[in-house]
């Protein structure tokens, strides 16, 4: 029996790995034991205590620790996370650490695994964006032994980075397994659960760009001014915990105190419920990867602001905007009519969990040497 330890630090990465954990947990108990390390935003009240959402999924063998205190910088959070993961693997045998994306918690997992001679698997390596997240993502890839990518473009980037072709597997994004579910939570039930009274609305999610700290106040204020000016309905989800998020939180929570009837501000949402809300929205605005990776599956328009998702993917339904003074022009285009683009399955076609399991069932996977070699491309 092989023991596989997953790491999650945010509502977003948990949505990506949940189907993988459940596949191993429910159908393959005799072959694999799964652990889940829960840290980061999950354990912080102001971000919605999303650890409670994980409890509802009845994930087995969970281990929780806090990796941050108020105003802790990302490097300190990284150090605290390495310490917490190290404490777990010293007391719990692990054959494979599974991390996702570009978060500090994932980097900590990759560092800890690599330095303790434990294989590391990286979900969604090879993606690009326009911020520090991309640097972190590529760093995780270089520390990882197995790569589970969303498409052939991401695979080519990893080959360009010197990774071994035989250790890169195209399975799509695991959250597509949930996106394409025929039975998402009933829309009326979603609205009732989160006390959303709108029929027509947009979703707004805006995260800090850590390399643009001096611009954040202008960016979020411009966005909120446009929202108020548009006189449309919005469900606003609070940002992640990247450096600079306090500026965004302060602006949004100040707006919340005004009790505006056209705004619903939520710290977080259960992923399946969020997808139902997204599917029925007029558009999504901000700089969340959700506008790039999830909205196009439903044909929902995305107004993507700034550099955070720069060059992530060229998709017709994603309108990129760097000039914040022109936000209202696009809002006015989409608020009066539910535009729908042709759905695009850029990040996979589903069944990632089955593909993931099939790969882990290959004996050669467990014989891969932990000592990596850089594969030189021919010039």
Superfamily of domain 187-335: Glycogen Phosphorylase B; (3.40.50.2000)
What is the four-CA torsion angle of 353, 358, 363, 365, rounded to 10 degrees? -50
- What pLDDT does residue 49 have? 87
- What pLDDT does residue 193 have? 96
Secondary-structure breakdown of the chain: helix, strand, coil percentages, each rounded to the nearest 5: 45, 15, 40
- What pLDDT does residue 306 have? 94
Q: What is the mean pLDDT of each run of 10 residues along the chain (379 residues)?
A: 96 92 82 96 88 90 92 91 98 97 96 98 93 94 98 96 97 94 94 96 96 94 96 96 91 92 95 96 97 97 95 92 94 92 94 95 95 88
- What pLDDT does residue 379 have? 65
Among candidate residues 139, 164, 184, the one with its CA nearest the CA of residue 280 = 184
Among candidate residues 77, 21, 124, the one with its CA nearest the CA of residue 357 = 21
CA distance linking residue 282 with residue 335, whole number of Å: 6
Do the beta carbons of residue 98 and residue 121 sit within 8 Å?
yes
Structure tokens, 144 = 């990882």
- What pLDDT does residue 242 have? 86
- What pLDDT does residue 130 have? 74
Among candidate residues 120, 15, 103, the one with its CA nearest the CA of residue 59 = 15
CA distance linking residue 232 with residue 99, whole number of Å: 38
- For the domain made up of 2-179+349-367, give the CATH fold: Rossmann fold (3.40.50)
**Residue extents of the structural domains in the chain:** 2-179+349-367, 187-335
CA distance linking residue 240 with residue 142, whole number of Å: 25
Instruction: Check if 2-179+349-367 and 187-335 are the same fold.
Output: yes
DSSP string, 256-303: HTTT-TTEEEES---HHHHHHHHHTSSEEEES-THHHHTHHHHT--EE
Phi, psi for 46 (deg, rounded to 5): -65, -15
- Which DSSP state fits 305? E
Model's pTM, two decimal places? Answer: 0.92
CA distance linking residue 41 with residue 8, whole number of Å: 9
């Amino acid at each position: 029996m092989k023991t596989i330890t997953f790491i999650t630090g945010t509502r977003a990465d948990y949505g990506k790995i949940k189907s993988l954990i459940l596949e191993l947990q429910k159908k393959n108990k005799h072959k694999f034991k799964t652990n889940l390390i829960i840290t980061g935003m999950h354990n912080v009240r102001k971000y919605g205590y999303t650890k409670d959402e994980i409890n509802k999924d009845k994930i087995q063998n969970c281990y929780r620790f806090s990796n941050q205190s108020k105003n802790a910088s990302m490097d300190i959070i990284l150090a605290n996370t390495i310490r917490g993961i190290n404490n777990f693997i010293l007391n719990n045998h692990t054959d494979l650490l599974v991390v996702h994306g570009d978060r500090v918690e994932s980097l900590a997992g990759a560092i800890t695994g690599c330095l303790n001679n434990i294989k590391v698997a990286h979900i969604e390596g090879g993606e690009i964006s326009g911020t520090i997240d991309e640097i972190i993502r590529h760093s995780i890839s270089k520390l990882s032994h197995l790569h589970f990518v969303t498409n052939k473009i991401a695979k080519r980037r990893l080959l360009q980075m010197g990774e071994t072709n035989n250790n890169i597997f195209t399975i799509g994004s695991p959250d597509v397994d949930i996106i394409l579910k025929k039975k998402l939570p009933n829309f009326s039930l979603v609205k009732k659960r989160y006390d959303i009274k709108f029929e027509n609305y947009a979703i707004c999610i805006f995260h800090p760009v850590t390399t643009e700290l001096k611009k954040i106040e202008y960016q979020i204020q411009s966005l909120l001014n446009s929202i108020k000016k548009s006189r449309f309905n919005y469900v606003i989800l609070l940002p992640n915990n990247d450096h600079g998020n306090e500026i965004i939180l302060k602006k949004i929570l100040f707006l919340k105190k005004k009790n505006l009837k056209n705004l619903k501000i939520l710290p977080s949402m259960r992923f399946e419920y969020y997808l139902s809300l997204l599917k029925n929205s007029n558009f999504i605005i901000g700089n969340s990867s959700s506008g790039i990776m999830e909205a196009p599956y439903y044909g929902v328009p995305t107004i993507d602001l700034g550099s955070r998702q720069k060059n992530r993917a060229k998709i017709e339904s994603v309108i990129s905007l760097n000039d914040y003074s022109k936000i209202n022009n696009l809002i006015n285009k989409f608020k009066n009519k539910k535009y729908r683009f042709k759905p695009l399955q850029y990040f996979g076609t589903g069944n990632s969990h089955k593909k993931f399991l099939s790969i882990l069932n290959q004996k050669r996977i467990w014989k891969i040497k932990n000592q990596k070699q850089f594969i030189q491309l021919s010039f």
